């Protein structure tokens, strides 16, 4: 292996690692706040990328109809609850969020000729389609089970993943898509050739990580989420709505998932089911951080990216085997360093 290849593989690994890190952070966030192990994260990656591809092809992405439909279901359920409680005042806000937002985005897509828009606007539109799916799915699948054991939530999570993946096939078909790079070309830096898209990915990931850090450290909402993560009952006693915290964390996770998809689709062809493996690699990173630590999770994810890129060079057909087997030594180390038997809630 010469320096050239080393740099190339390193770049590749870091680029993928940055994506995995974003996903790992979202997973840790969702787990901390809701105790849901967020397997469907990968579907948001695929939905984000494929929605963008559909917009660029001048088609109406079917994901928007999913958002409209889920919004309508949530509206019917929550309106019924509000009516029973005679809380008329809740209705307008509810209608605006569950019916208004998805319909407004649908109207925008119909009104604008999305294919001719500038790339940043297309991306914004794609995110506006996919991100609302997060809280809607939380409301329907997870909120009724908010106090269930982690194991039940995990099974629901897997079931949600299956449903969304199946729907992805219905929406986008079996063929894969690639979207154009944010900016073409590459930067020569001594012996290294840096692709602009890789720089975008790493740069944007870093910006997002810092933004998240500021959000959790400096804003009241962020602090409320952290409080919920630490102690649900305590947070509720302080007037923090754990339901709202759950929806918010799902929103952030969906947004980050979709954005990761948008970032990665110029480098890899994405299919309706590619998100799952990408999401799981984020997971391996998150597990390295014990599903608790944000920085360790991010570093773990970068490690996964590097391992993946180097193993694809040395033993390309065993790439996935190697990446997912990494979890074994990690778990072994965790198991040996865990002192006593943990008590389940």
Partner 1 sequence: MRRHLPVALFVALLASGPLWLPEFGVTLLNYIGLYAMVALGLVLLTGVGGMTSFGQAAFVGLGAYTTAYLTTAHELSPWLTLVIGWIITGGFALLLGAITLRLSGHFLPLGTLAWGISLYFLFGNLDDLGGHTGLTGIPPLSLGSLELKSGESLYFLIWLIVLAFVLVTRNLLDSRTGRAIRALKGGVVMAESMGVNTTRVKMVVFLIAALMAATSGWLYAHLQRFVNPTPFALNMGIEYLFMAVVGGVAHVWGAIVGAGLITVLKQWLQDLLPQLLGSDGNFEIIVFGLLMIFMLQRARDGIWPLVLKLFHGLGAAPRARVLPEAEPLERRPARKAGEVLLDARQVTRRFGGLVANKDMSLSVAAGEILALIGPNGAGKSTFFNQISGVDTPTSGEISFLGERVDGAESRRIARAGMSRTFQHVRLLPTMTVRENVALGAHLRGHGGYLAAALRLERNEEARLLREAQRALERVGLADYADQPAGSLALGQQRILEIARALCADPCLLLLDEPAAGLRYLEKQALAELLKSLKGEGLGILLVEHDMDFVMGLADRVVVMEFGEKIAEGLPAEIQTNPAVIEAYLGGVE
Q: Which residues lie near partner 1 (CB under 8 A)?
A: 37, 140-141, 144-145, 148-152, 154-156, 158-167, 169-170, 173-174, 277, 280, 283-284, 287, 291, 317-318, 320-321, 324-325, 327-328, 331-332, 334-335, 338, 340-344
The length of the chain is 345
Can you tell me which residue has the tokens 């065993």? Answer: 318
Q: Which is nearer to partner 1, 85 or 341 (CB)?
A: 341
Provide the token pair at 66. 């999913």
CA angle 167, 169, 173 (to 5 degrees): 140
Q: What one-character-per-residue DSSP string does 305-330 give?
A: HHHHHHHHHH-GGGHHHHHHHTHHHH
Q: Which is nearer to partner 1, 151 or 238 (CB)?
A: 151
Print the SS3 string covering 216-251. Answer: HHHCHHHHHHHHHHHCHHHHHHCCCCHHHHHHHHHH
Taking the C-alpha atoms of residue 286 and residue 6, their distance in angstroms, rounded to an integer, is 26
Q: Which is nearer to partner 1, 200 or 310 (CB)?
A: 310
CB of residue 24 vs partner 1: minimum separation in angstroms?
A: 13
Q: Which is nearer to partner 1, 92 or 144 (CB)?
A: 144
Taking the C-alpha atoms of residue 161 and residue 29, their distance in angstroms, rounded to an integer, is 18
Taking the C-alpha atoms of residue 293 and residue 290, their distance in angstroms, rounded to an integer, is 7
CB of residue 43 vs partner 1: minimum separation in angstroms?
A: 11
Q: Which of 186, 204, 310 is nearest to 261 (CA)?
A: 204
- Cα-based distances in Å from 240 to 81, 237, 275: 20, 7, 33
Print the SS3 string covering 80-146. Answer: HHHHHCCCCCHHHHHHHHHHHHHHHHHHHHHHCCHHHCCHHHHHHHHHHHHCCHHHHHHHHHHHHHC
CB of residue 23 vs partner 1: minimum separation in angstroms?
A: 15
Q: Which is nearer to partner 1, 136 or 287 (CB)?
A: 287
Q: Which is nearer to partner 1, 58 or 173 (CB)?
A: 173
CB of residue 258 vs partner 1: minimum separation in angstroms?
A: 20
Distance between terminal CA atoms of the chain?
50
Question: What count of other Cβ atoms lies within 10 Å of the Cβ of residue 283?
Answer: 26
CB of residue 51 vs partner 1: minimum separation in angstroms?
A: 18
CB of residue 327 vs partner 1: minimum separation in angstroms?
A: 4
Taking the C-alpha atoms of residue 21 and residue 28, their distance in angstroms, rounded to an integer, is 10
Taking the C-alpha atoms of residue 154 and residue 219, their distance in angstroms, rounded to an integer, is 30
CB of residue 233 vs partner 1: minimum separation in angstroms?
A: 16
The conformation of residue 194, written as its DSSP 8-state character, comes to: E
CB of residue 169 vs partner 1: minimum separation in angstroms?
A: 5
Q: Which is nearer to partner 1, 178 or 334 (CB)?
A: 334
Q: Which is nearer to partner 1, 130 or 286 (CB)?
A: 286
CB of residue 211 vs partner 1: minimum separation in angstroms?
A: 28
Q: Which is nearer to partner 1, 93 or 166 (CB)?
A: 166
């Amino acid at each position: 292996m010469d320096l050239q290849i080393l740099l190339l593989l390193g770049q590749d690994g870091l680029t993928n690692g940055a994506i995995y890190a974003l996903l790992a952070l979202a997973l840790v966030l969702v787990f901390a706040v809701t105790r849901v192990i967020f397997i469907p994260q990968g579907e948001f990656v695929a939905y984000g990328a494929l929605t963008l591809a559909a917009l660029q092809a001048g088609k109406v992405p079917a994901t928007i109809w999913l958002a409209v439909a889920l919004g309508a279901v949530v509206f019917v359920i929550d309106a019924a609850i509000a009516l029973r409680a005679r809380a008329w005042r809740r209705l307008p806000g509810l209608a605006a969020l569950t019916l208004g937002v998805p319909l407004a985005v649908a109207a925008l897509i119909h009104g604008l000729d999305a294919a001719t828009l500038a790339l940043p606007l297309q991306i914004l539109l794609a995110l506006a389609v996919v991100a609302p799916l997060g809280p809607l799915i939380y409301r329907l699948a997870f909120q009724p089970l908010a106090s269930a054991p982690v194991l039940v939530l995990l099974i629901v999570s897997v079931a949600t993943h299956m449903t969304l993946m199946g729907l992805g096939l219905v929406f986008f078909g079996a063929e894969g898509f690639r979207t154009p790079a944010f900016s073409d070309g590459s930067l020569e830096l001594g012996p290294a050739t840096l692709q602009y898209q890789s720089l975008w990915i790493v740069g944007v990931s870093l910006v997002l990580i810092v933004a998240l850090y500021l959000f959790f450290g400096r804003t009241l909402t962020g602090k409320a989420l952290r409080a919920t993560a630490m102690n649900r009952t305590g947070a509720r006693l302080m007037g923090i709505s754990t339901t709202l915290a759950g929806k918010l964390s799902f929103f952030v996770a969906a947004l980050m998932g979709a954005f990761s998809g948008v970032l990665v689709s110029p480098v890899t062809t994405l299919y309706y089911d590619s998100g799952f493996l990408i999401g799981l690699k984020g997971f391996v990173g998150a597990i390295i951080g014990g599903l608790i630590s944000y920085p360790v999770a991010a570093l773990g994810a970068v490690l996964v990216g590097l391992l993946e890129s180097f193993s694809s060079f040395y033993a390309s057909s065993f790439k996935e085997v190697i990446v997912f087997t990494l979890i074994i030594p990690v778990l072994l180390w965790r198991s040996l360093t865990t002192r006593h038997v943990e008590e389940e809630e």
